[in-house]
Structure 1
């Protein structure tokens, strides 16, 4: 039994809790700096050549599960350990403190009063009248009073003792919500062109919601830089009911546990017409060799596929650059413009942008939000100081003794007691 008590004391010690918080903070920093949920080859390619912090290569990243920090065994172990430490601390320390604060203590001798943090005494000729004055004054100032055989016990701010317990409870609930969300949450990142959609599956692997992009718009400043992206999406229920919603950067859509973010933009296709052909919508892909935001494709100018040209573009407003097979720039065309390219008439109809949507389903969010509310309430209560005052009289010496203690702001209580004495002297 003694060994169990020692283990529990060690488990719930402040030093261990601080160490766990430090390790969790460092782990979260690593999870932020190291890209998460990428392929194994990604970490070999990027970290073997340039090790993280100079020592962590791709093999170490994968071995210690740094590629998925928040769902790794050791990170979840740290969260469980911290939660257990907080629970033990609450049951072994905070709950007894709360019970002690709610329990009325009856001091019967002046010697007990004298041992308190703050103590005063005053001589009185009519102790019953003085005690009554003190009792009335304490009640006016919001103190809870208990009187026993002419002795007065008063307390104020006992609810403040509930604060640390609520903070511990909120932190435990926060870790439960974060863990549950990490293990059961889903994240989908998808680029959609207008008219395209994403079908989401429910828990039974059946078709659930459908997210269809109706319209996508990029707002640019006078210099042509993208400032804001807006998407009009149609949220379609399995029964056919639908709702049109607008999302933009910093203004996501929250719908039945799903959060839809406007995350990025891209270019999906170029619509062109070659000679008298029908309008052709040709997909384009990023070409990082030509720049960070350059998209393009290769288009043959002859029916036999020979004499191809490279078509590139860097924004949805154009212009479209057309290059020869040797990389020589042939011409630049704006939308709804046409030109002869290698004896072939080519017309640019439009450039189709695509919206980068990030869909997150985190079942732990309600737990996390609830935990924040509990922590805020607990933090607010913790500010309240718990104060206690005892008053008793000694008939033989015609003396009244007043003493008190407080868990914080002891100086404030020390200024209150002289006020009671001056009140009696008036």
Structure 2
């Protein structure tokens, strides 16, 4: 009976050629996503690629490529191809795993390359019992069937389920792609009609300021966070050549006006709150001074923005014990820099807390001083006022990606490092005595299985009496 012809559409969707084409397109377009920096200001692309290049990048959404409609369609096409391929080929694998391996004739088995003959002696039935007990004792669940000519065939296998390893990999890829789609701002905005479900954006937040909204990278629209985040301080360190060495931000999360979380973030150490991740990405000089005061004993940091028009305004703070502290810039004058390069600002500071008389001292701009008080010690610095640049993302699909990645590792281990091993023992009479012929078959890692197979045959040979 002729095999039923496949539907041409199904055959096309299940073809390996289509899979290779889609993988090639995804790989080549992903290169574009690494060459073209993502989610930058339009001016960046004009400077880097010129007006024509910037227009092409904008037209094809190469500036946010992984969230573009056409890239998501490519992922969808690849997912469809992978699903159809799996459905098309899975029944054959199921049949192979469930196959009745005792239906094969002994003559066919004896044509296989991997075999060992072990003389047993005695009757065929007794030799078969010994062989079956031996395999069972070695952890091989054994089945038996009588064959023509008085022969008895035994069969045992391990690792039949490993043939599904490749389909575990397929499922893991689909889970990862699903996670990518779930976490796409394009899907959240255009399909789910809920831009708060998944988003990528940013905000420039000056020290001491707070915000409950960010701005989308896609169209610069405002996205409410559902809570408030405040920048308590920004700290930056420079190399001797003036290049930034490290910078970090102290952030506080507020809900209903109450502080619920305070932490310090830096590059590669983000803040995660309610599924929203805040990354330290940049900074900006506000071109005005700010006072940084740190209680060295408690580690408490306080910052006070300075209005250049009212620089002598008294600033106050409260210590943990409830006592009040105050400081004020009494005067400020521009003087030549100690290094001889340009000028700097010298300020007279008045500071007092709950203990002792006020402290009066001088401080230079952006040069910290230690202030010793009867009950405390402070580090004081007056330097540039910065705004921290935060990249903000909400990706509900990230755990799907993590789970899919873990499943992929498992599937790859099964697919590449585990195998389906089969052993037959054909027991028959030869030259007046029973002989057991061991036959082995494996779908991969034949060298390793040959060692196991030889050890089984030799073990039975040594224990046959």
Closer/same/farther in 2, CA of residues 207 and 410 from structure 1, 3 Å limit:
closer
Counterparts of 2:282 and 2:225 in 1: how far apart (Å)? 26
Counterparts of 1:233 and 1:44 in 2: how far apart (Å)? 34
| Residue 352 of structure 1, CA deviation | 1.0
Closer/same/farther in 2, CA of residues 280 and 362 from structure 1, 3 Å limit:
farther
Give the TM-score of the pair, scaled to structure 1. Answer: 0.74
- Map 1:18-417 → 2, pairs under 5 A: 18-37=20-39, 43=45, 46-48=48-50, 57-107=53-103, 109-126=105-122, 127-149=124-146, 150-182=152-184, 183=186, 184=188, 185-200=198-213, 208-221=226-239, 225-238=243-256, 240=258, 242-271=260-289, 278-279=310-311, 331-334=342-345, 336=347, 350-382=383-415, 383-395=417-429, 398-417=434-453
Q: Gaps spanning 5+ residues in structure 2: where?
A: 147-151, 189-197, 215-222, 291-304, 314-333, 350-363, 366-381
Closer/same/farther in 2, CA of residues 45 and 171 from structure 1, 3 Å limit:
same
The size of the alignment, in residue pairs, is 367
* 1:245-303: CA deviation from partner (whole Å, max 9, x where unpaired): 221111112222111111122212313999x952199xxxxxxxxxxxxxxxxxxxxxx
- Are the equivalent residues in 1 in contact too, given 2:144–2:155 (CA < 8 A)? yes
Counterparts of 1:117 and 1:18 in 2: how far apart (Å)? 35
- Are the equivalent residues in 1 in contact too, given 2:106–2:153 (CA < 8 A)? no
- Are the equivalent residues in 2 in contact too, given 1:113–1:402 (CA < 8 A)? no
Closer/same/farther in 2, CA of residues 277 and 356 from structure 1, 3 Å limit:
closer
Counterparts of 1:408 and 1:75 in 2: how far apart (Å)? 37
| Residue 239 of structure 1, CA deviation | 7.1
- Are the equivalent residues in 2 in contact too, given 1:95–1:165 (CA < 8 A)? no
- Are the equivalent residues in 2 in contact too, given 1:108–1:151 (CA < 8 A)? no
Counterparts of 2:397 and 2:256 in 1: how far apart (Å)? 24
Counterparts of 1:351 and 1:217 in 2: how far apart (Å)? 10
Secondary structure, in 3 states, of the residue corresponding to 1:394? strand
* 1:174-226: CA deviation from partner (whole Å, max 9, x where unpaired): 1111122123331222222221112048xxx7661111111221234566543
Aligned to 2:323: none
Closer/same/farther in 2, CA of residues 137 and 220 from structure 1, 3 Å limit:
farther
* 1:322-380: CA deviation from partner (whole Å, max 9, x where unpaired): xxxxxxxx952146389xxxxxxxx9663112222111111211211111111111112
Counterparts of 1:191 and 1:154 in 2: how far apart (Å)? 67
Q: Gaps spanning 5+ residues in structure 1: where?
A: 52-56, 282-310, 312-317, 321-329, 339-346
| Residue 6 of structure 1, CA deviation | 4.0
After TM superposition, the structure 1 stretch with the greater mean CA deviation from structure 2, 117-126 or 21-30, is 117-126
Closer/same/farther in 2, CA of residues 215 and 39 from structure 1, 3 Å limit:
closer
- Are the equivalent residues in 1 in contact too, given 2:252–2:259 (CA < 8 A)? no
Aligned to 2:456: 420
Structure 1 runs, 4 residues or longer, greater than 4 Å off: 1-4, 37-46, 221-225
Counterparts of 2:267 and 2:240 in 1: how far apart (Å)? 19
Measured on the aligned residues, the alpha-carbon RMSD in Å equals 3.7
Closer/same/farther in 2, CA of residues 421 and 242 from structure 1, 3 Å limit:
closer
| Residue 408 of structure 1, CA deviation | 0.3
